[in-house]
Structure 1
Amino acid sequence: MPLRPLLAAVALAALAGCAGMPASQAPALQPMAADAPRAAGKTEVLWLGQASVRITSPGGKVIMIDPWLKSNPKTPANFKDLKALGKLDAILVTHAHFDHFADAPELAKMNNAPMFGPAGMNQTVATLGILPAELAPRFGKSGMVAPFGPTGPKIHAVRAEHSSELAWKDSAGKDMVYPGGEPVGFIVELENGFKIWHMGDTGVFGDMKLIADMYKPDMVLIPIGGHFVMSPQQAAMVVNDMIKPKYAIPIHFGTIPVLRGTPAEFGAAMGGNSPARMIELQPGQKLVF
């Protein structure tokens, strides 16, 4: 599905250096402000650092994935106030680690919106009373939920190769670690059929190709930082040889010293003949298409 540029040529020219992306074929990139108006009928992908991504569908449904904002050193200051996100219709959490889960319960309560996550993680969340069960619906790999009805966005849970421990304070304030279920990635299938694969935290695994063959994602949000997730070189191999999406957006890098991988390394490893076009976002920027 072709993406149509929305901004002036100067903004598109800035994208042209990303893995050889021709400006005429790039989605539009613009700085995100808290009060920026939404273009009706368009899709927005807003990155806020680490794995925190807000997707607004063509039909206006707003889905927040892996919200770590208030203490995230890369999140722009205005978005550390969770109200700046606007009304959320659903929250997705790929696994229980703090840098993906931290602000999800508060956002779920604030918006009276479900926090979808791995079945084991949400079982723990409900059992501990972090969220009521109705705000912590459970589903798992190969499962699909359609929280907005049959014509709205669909959310598919797929495998991720990682771990998922939930660190939380007990009623006495003592730090505890609880089972967080198994990590997942999410494929968000929009009303127009465009599919965005948020890969969560993951290493390389062979079934990435199977997932790509089954779901045919158009865009991947792919971790590149290394240490806990794929390196830029590994992520490039996955994009080029296994998934072959139209667009790849690097995430999960640069927030802590061990996440050394960079978009420049990722783009270089993808090379000029990659099937995907790498788009580098800065925290607080969004794609509009």
Structure 2
Amino acid sequence: MHAPRPALRTLLLASAAALLGACASNVGNPPAPIPPTAATAPATAGKTEVLWLGQAAMRITTPGGKVIVIDPWLTQNPKTPAGFKQLAALGKVDLILVTHAHGDHLGDAPALAKLTNAPIYTGGGLGQQLVQLGLVPANLSQRFNKSGTVMPFGPTGPKITAVHAEHSSELIHKDPVTGKDETHYGGEPVGYIIEMENGFKVWHMGDTGLFGDMTLIGTRYRPDLVLIPIGGHFTMGAEDAAIAIRDMVKPKYAIPMHYGTSPNMTGTPDALKGYLGVGTATAVIVPAPGERVVF
């Protein structure tokens, strides 16, 4: 076989370089986490900012300046930075989302709602229980359900859709009269697709195991960023999370969450990256609790 002529060889090399460049552009240069500073207020004009506060607790600031707090387990969360264990440190809060009733997700949501007057939106039946148990007044509990889409800030604001999560949702409530813990119905567990004003989409998966319809959700909503549990024991571990990312959802970015808060959550970001392998078209971004990522 003869070597390619110089002109043909140049063309082949240029084509190969373009192909490699196209593959690399799937990941590109992902944003780096921003370390905590004295200024805790979000400052993301025109951008989407995600602040991780340990476990599944997130503060998301939309490009239009709306602040959405998800699963705010903060005051008792061993991974929440000390500066955020005072709820007022979150600053302005416009909306609270809770994925399910477990204490490490419902957490401080009722207290935060009453402090900020921000309504709690629950996508699977939890809202009514919060009102009936006297945890929040009716005006601070807003309900919708799986596949339902709400626009709490009007037609120009972010859109929020509740989607399936494979988990459970018991609400443990201490009876104020007897002082005993009681187990109540906590609605259906959900995740949330949040579409920002500029079209950027975030899927907060909540607590979930791997399930086949992750492919359907990924195809239907095409999230740019997934916030995905990796700890195992109560949720997906790192290997199943890698399958969800690589084979089912295929987002541009993934931020691992729900790990490191107890010894039985053994999944780690390094394990996730190992299971993903080389060449995966998703950039895994690993902030420390208290760090922000801007998209």
Aligned to 2:13: none
Which of 197, 211, 222 lines up with 2:217 in the alignment?
Answer: 211
* Partners of 2:219 and 2:26 in 1: CA distance: 26
Secondary structure of 1:137's counterpart equals: strand
Secondary structure of 1:110's counterpart equals: helix
**Counterpart contact for 1:168–1:177, Cα < 8 Å:** yes
Secondary structure of 1:261's counterpart equals: coil
Aligned to 1:275: 281
Secondary structure of 2:192's counterpart equals: strand
Aligned to 1:29: 33
Deviation at 1:22, TM superposition (A): 10
**Counterpart contact for 1:222–1:249, Cα < 8 Å:** yes
**Counterpart contact for 1:34–1:84, Cα < 8 Å:** no
Secondary structure of 2:84's counterpart equals: helix
* Partners of 2:38 and 2:160 in 1: CA distance: 26
Aligned to 1:48: 53
Tell me whether 1:179 sits opposite 2:185 in the alignment.
Answer: yes
* Partners of 1:171 and 1:30 in 2: CA distance: 42
Deviation at 1:36, TM superposition (A): 4.2
**Counterpart contact for 2:40–2:89, Cα < 8 Å:** no
Secondary structure of 2:74's counterpart equals: coil
Aligned to 2:143: 138
* Partners of 2:132 and 2:154 in 1: CA distance: 28
In terms of mean alpha carbon deviation, does 34-43 or 53-62 score higher?
Answer: 34-43
- Normalised to the residue count of structure 1, the TM-score between the two structures is 0.90
Secondary structure of 2:121's counterpart equals: strand
Matches within 5 A, 1:4-19: none
* Partners of 2:66 and 2:242 in 1: CA distance: 31
* Partners of 1:262 and 1:213 in 2: CA distance: 27
Deviation at 1:123, TM superposition (A): 1.1
Consecutive unaligned residues of structure 2, counting only runs of 5 or more, are 1-23
Aligned to 2:20: none
One-letter code of the match for 1:145? V
- Normalised to the residue count of structure 2, the TM-score between the two structures is 0.88
Give the number of the structure whose alpha-carbon radius of gyration is greater: 2
* Partners of 1:65 and 1:266 in 2: CA distance: 23
* Partners of 2:58 and 2:276 in 1: CA distance: 23
**Counterpart contact for 1:32–1:46, Cα < 8 Å:** no
* Partners of 1:97 and 1:210 in 2: CA distance: 26
Does the C-alpha gap of structure 1 residues 39 and 185 become closer, same or farther in structure 2, counting only changes over 3 Å? closer
Secondary structure of 1:30's counterpart equals: coil
**Counterpart contact for 2:26–2:281, Cα < 8 Å:** no
Which of 57, 65, 74 lines up with 2:62 in the alignment?
Answer: 57
One-letter code of the match for 2:163? V
Tell me whether 1:97 sits opposite 2:102 in the alignment.
Answer: yes
Deviation at 1:171, TM superposition (A): 2.3
The two structures, once aligned, show a CA RMSD in angstroms of: 1.6
* Partners of 1:199 and 1:221 in 2: CA distance: 6
Deviation at 1:119, TM superposition (A): 3.9
- When the two structures are aligned, how many residues end up with a matched partner? 270
Secondary structure of 2:34's counterpart equals: strand
**Alignment identity in percent?**
60
* Partners of 2:56 and 2:25 in 1: CA distance: 23
* Partners of 1:115 and 1:50 in 2: CA distance: 19
Matches within 5 A, 1:150-169: 150-169=155-174
Aligned to 1:88: 93
Which of 199, 204, 207 lines up with 1:201 in the alignment?
Answer: 207
Secondary structure of 1:35's counterpart equals: coil
* Partners of 1:190 and 1:140 in 2: CA distance: 20
CA displacement 1:55-109 (0-9 Å, x = unmatched): 0001000000000110100000000011110010000000000000110001111
Aligned to 2:5: none
Which of 224, 228, 231 lines up with 2:237 in the alignment?
Answer: 231
**Counterpart contact for 2:118–2:140, Cα < 8 Å:** yes
* Partners of 2:259 and 2:54 in 1: CA distance: 8
**Counterpart contact for 1:118–1:139, Cα < 8 Å:** yes
Does the C-alpha gap of structure 1 residues 23 and 269 become closer, same or farther in structure 2, counting only changes over 3 Å? closer
In terms of mean alpha carbon deviation, does 196-205 or 120-129 score higher?
Answer: 120-129
